[in-house]
Structure 1
Amino acid sequence: MTLATLAQVLRPANALGYAVPGLVCLGWEDMRAYVAAAEAERAPVILQAGPGCRAHTPLPILAAMFHHLAETASVPVVLHLDHGYSLDDCRAALDLGFTSVMVDGSNLPLAENIALTAAVAKIAHAAGASCEGEIGFVGYAGGAASAGTDPKDAARFAAETGVDAMAISVGNLHLQQSAGAGIDLDRLRAIEAATAVPLVIHGGSGVPLGQRATLAATSRIAKFNIGTELRMAFGAALRDGLARDPDQFDRIALLRGTEAAVTEAARAVMRNLGASGRA
């Protein structure tokens, strides 16, 4: 088994100038493709169970799937709960053997966000796991607007919560289907100057590839969450398979047919972030 915590994969990334992909999982086919990509690239990988995934598949089932994949992998695999919204959400994941939990109190007043995140970090560390928190608010393409991270708030948040990683809002957006304007470098550098914790970018699919690679190599961003571009690769492969064989109705054959394309897309993410050859 190659189970790893978030801290165990992000510290070397910061020290050596690369970033680790946090890959958003929705089902067996994509999570298996992500581990296959990590094996092929000799890269660490973070498997993420977010709210959409958990609404579709019960958390104990996801935990079993993640554990099975980690047990058969030879590269570090982090089992990560993404966007847990309460202490109970995160405790449930830790009880099931997740090695990392992200608690999202970003919509709360600062003091409440700090209190919630500190409580989650305490139980995560007691379980031998890691904790990621979020300061500022990362919005959604076509949805809720972002609130940029204040560097002074980030400094207080990092100091008072004890998180192992800190998600920040610096121009990034969830659910972008194409590259956006990119990261606000001035805000990022101010946050880096005020804190020492590894940083996380949610909505990494919307960050231009060139900037993603540069920031992975030259900033304290150690984790990029990538979901939308991989879901798009899955959808394109599924549509292609249906077009090639319109009489096919077997769901296993249809879904298995997406794995090669998703694996290659995930490999490209790992190469872009400099994670290849790091395991």
Structure 2
Amino acid sequence: MSLVTLSDVLQPALKQGHAVAGLVTLGWEDMRAYVAAAEAENVPVILQAGPSCREHTPLPVLGKMFTHLAEQASVPVVAHLDHGYTHDECRIAIESGFSSVMFDGSRMPLSENIAETAAIAKMAHAAGVSCEGEIGFVGYSGGENSAGTDPEEAAQFARETNVDAMAISVGNVHLQQDKEGGLDEPRIRAIEALTNVPLVIHGGSGVPVAQRTALAQGSKICKFNIGTELRMAFGAALRDAVNADPERFDRVQILKETHEPLVAATRAVLRSFKGKS
């Protein structure tokens, strides 16, 4: 296949009743495992470079890694900037080969968020790249609290920014390690009644699997971001590999042993977003 945009995978998801996973990457090992899992499940995948990933590896390098994997993959792959906080960061991502950028202005007043997001969406579209925005702040487990999305503000945001996807705050929380919570479905229904833009859930690891599947098949939520649960799977596999032989020091050999467990965990995540067969 080849590199595709976010719209290329979310518009079919919206029409056909399924969702696409935005998988948060930290390095080469998880990127290649995510693509392998998507190929095994025969579904598209969104590879995401978030702030912690970018602290470790520069955007131009990440762009090369993502596009290389996309060019070799048998399924559509989106190279996505997750939580870009500035115009320059989004510009550099586009120049580095990313096919999608997400600008996070959710901490800004509504008018500023709309103005900044609209400018970045215009820049992205001029380059043939998709743009995701966020309205209503999604908080962090053990950190900042969420501010739920107001449906009327969401409709205005979607209309005035021209984004291709809209992240909303409906009970979801970043970095949540359990699935004991759940999303506010009445708020989701109120938002989707006012807009046709594909909706995005950040902090998808904290959403119960049954609710993920139901919303993927029966709502305008077309993208769930998954990071924490797959980081936990990778960490467990890495710990097992290190502890299996305390004398071993070659990290390539150690990291190879994380591949199959991470592929298996990722396949389970991807299956939960498939449409009705």
TM-score class, shorter-chain normalisation, is over 0.9
1:51 aligns with 51
Runs of 4+ in 1 over 6 A off after TM superposition: none
> Hey, what's the Cα distance between the residues in 1 that align with 2:228 and 2:135?
22
% of aligned pairs identical? 68
Letter in 2 for 1:265: A
Give, as a single letter, the amino acid of the residue that structure 2 aligns with 1:260: E
Q: CA deviation at 1:133?
A: 0.1
1:15-164 alignment, distance < 5 Å: 15-164=15-164
Counterpart of 2:183? Answer: 183
Match of 1:239 in 2: 239
Of 141-150 and 59-68, more deviation after overlay is shown by 59-68
Q: Is the CA contact (8 Å cut-off) linking 2:17 and 2:275 kept in structure 1?
A: no
Alignment of 1:253-272 (within 5 A): 253-272=253-272
TM-score, normalised relative to structure 1:
0.97
Could you tell me the TM-score, scaled by structure 2's length? 0.98
CA contact under 8 A between 1:270 and 1:276: conserved in structure 2? Answer: no
CA distance in 2, matches of 1:118, 1:242: 47
Q: Unpaired segments of 5 or more residues in structure 1?
A: none
Letter in 1 for 2:198: P
Contact 1:11/1:198 (<8 A) preserved: yes
CA displacement at 1:276 relative to structure 2: 10
CA distance, structure 2, for counterparts of residue 21 and residue 273 of structure 1: 7
Contact 2:217 2:276 in 1 (8 A): no
Give the Cα–Cα distance (whole angstroms) in 2 for the partners of residues 40 and 46 of structure 1: 15
What RMSD in Å do the two structures reach over aligned CA positions? 1.1
In the alignment, which residue of structure 2 is the partner of 1:248?
248
SS of structure 2 residue aligned to 1:83: strand
After superposition, the C-alpha distances for 1:104-146 in whole angstroms (9 at most, x for unaligned) are: 0000000000000000000110000100000000000000000
Letter aligned with residue 211 of structure 2: Q
Aligned residue for 1:215? 215
SS of 2:140's partner is coil
- Number of the residue aligned with 1:168: 168
Structure 2 partner of 1:230: 230
Contact preservation (8 Å) 1:103, 1:117:
yes
User: Matches of 1:168 and 1:248 in 2, distance apart?
Assistant: 45
The change in CA–CA distance for 1:269 and 1:275 in structure 2 (over 3 A counts) is farther
Secondary structure of 1:194 counterpart: coil
Q: Structure 1 227/275 Cα, relative in aligned 2: closer, same or farther at 3 Å?
A: farther
